[in-house]
Amino acid sequence: MMKWTDIGELAIELSEAHPDVDPRTIRFTDLHNWVIELPAFDDEHSRGGEKILEAIQQAWIDEMD
């Protein structure tokens, strides 16, 4: 099971789940929802704050490059 702190793993899962999305253009509300919808995600929804979402977004961008 993945937690909010599994930033690299979350970025990989998101890139596979949403291959046509440019992570540079995603809103944090959408990103938050997509993370909690991942089948392997199991953590408190409220823990996904802005700093965590920024880190996931950056890891996703790095994953694309």
Q: Answer whether residue 13 is part of any domain.
A: yes
Judge whether 1 lies within some domain: no
Q: How far is CA 21 from the centre of its chain?
A: 12
Range of the domain at 29: 7-64
Convert the pLDDT of each residue in 32-46 to its tens digit.
999 999 999 999 999
Is residue 2 in some structural domain?
no
| Residue pair 42/2 in contact by the 8 Å Cβ criterion | yes
**Structural domain count of the chain:** 1
Average pLDDT across the chain, whole number: 97
Q: Do the domain assignments include residue 48?
A: yes
**Angle formed at CA 4 by CA 11 and CA 32, multiple of 5 degrees:** 70
pLDDT at 4: 98
Is residue 20 in some structural domain? yes
Single pTM value for the model = 0.95
Please indicate, yes or no, if residue 54 is contained in any of the structural domains. Answer: yes
pLDDT at 43: 98
Structure tokens at 65: 């490059």
Whose tokens are 């919808």? That residue is: 37
9-38 residue pLDDT tens: 999 999 999 999 999 999 999 999 999 999
